Amino acid sequence: MPLIPQNLYDRIVSLRRLLHRQPELSGQETGTAAVIADFLRDIGIQCRTNVAGAGVIADIPGIAGVPCIVLRADMDALPIQEETGLDFASARDGVMHACGHDGHTAMLLGAAALLSGEKDLPAPVRLIFQPAEEKGTGAQAMIQAGALVGAGMIFGGHLDRHYYPGAIVVAEGAVNASSDNFAIEIVGQGAHGARPHESIDAVVVGSLMIMALQTIVSREIDPARPSVVSVGQFYAGTAPNVIAGQAKLEGTVRAQDPTVRKQLLTSIRRIAESIAQLHGAKIHVSVKEGTPPLVNTSEMAGLARDAAVTVVGAANVLPLKTANMGAEDFSYYMEKIPGAYVRFGGQVPGKEGFPAHSSKFDFDEEALAVGAAYYRAVAKIAGQRLRDQRSRS
In a shared domain, residues 123 and 52: yes
Output the pTM of the full model. Answer: 0.93
Identify whether residues 52 and 88 lie together within a single domain.
yes
Flag whether 22 is in a domain.
yes
Mean pLDDT across the stretch 105-130?
Answer: 97
**What are the pLDDT digits (tens) for 184-198?**
999 999 999 999 999
- Final residue of a structural domain among 288, 304, 331: 288
Mark which of 247, 264, 288 sits at the end of a domain: 288
Other CB atoms within 10 Å distance of the CB of residue 76: 26
- Angle at the Cα of 293 (from 353 to 372), degrees rounded to 5? 60
3-state secondary structure of 163: coil
Cα–Cα distance between 328 and 321 in angstroms, integer?
18
User: Helix %, strand %, coil % for the chain, to 5?
Assistant: 40, 25, 40
pLDDT mean over 89-106: 98
200 with 321, same domain?
Answer: no
- 124: which residues sit within 8 A by CB, 6+ positions away? 59, 60, 61, 62, 63, 66, 67, 68, 69, 150, 383
User: Model confidence over 260-289: pLDDT tens digits?
Assistant: 999 999 999 999 999 999 999 999 999 999
Q: What is the DSSP letter of 196?
A: G
CATH code of residue 276: 3.30.70.360
**Residue 369: enclosing H or E segment and its boundaries?**
helix 366-392
Q: How many domains does the chain have?
A: 2
At 328 the pLDDT is 97
Report CA dihedral (286, 141, 327, 70) to the nearest 10 degrees.
160
Which are the contacts of 90, defined by CB distance < 8 A and separation ≥ 6? Answer: 20, 21, 22, 23, 77, 82, 96, 97
Judge if 20 and 133 occupy the same domain. Answer: yes
- In a domain? residue 1: no
In this structure, are 214 and 329 located in the same domain? no
pLDDT digits (tens, 9 = 90+) for 210-219: 999 999 999 9
Over the stretch 135-149, which tens digit does the pLDDT of each residue have?
999 999 999 999 999
Residues 218 and 155 in one domain: no
Give me the amino acid identity at 3. Answer: L
What is the span of the domain harbouring residue 261? Answer: 178-288
What pLDDT is stored for residue 98 in this prediction?
Answer: 98
| Pair 283, 298 in one domain | no
Do 243 and 138 share a structural domain? no
Same domain? For 263 and 228 the reply is yes
Do 192 and 131 lie in one domain? The reply is no
167 lies in the same domain as 313: yes
The pLDDT-based confidence of 158 (bands split at 50, 70, 90) is very high
56 and 165 share one domain: yes
What is the tens place of the pLDDT at every residue in 325-343?
999 999 999 999 999 999 9
> CATH no. for residue 90?
3.40.630.10
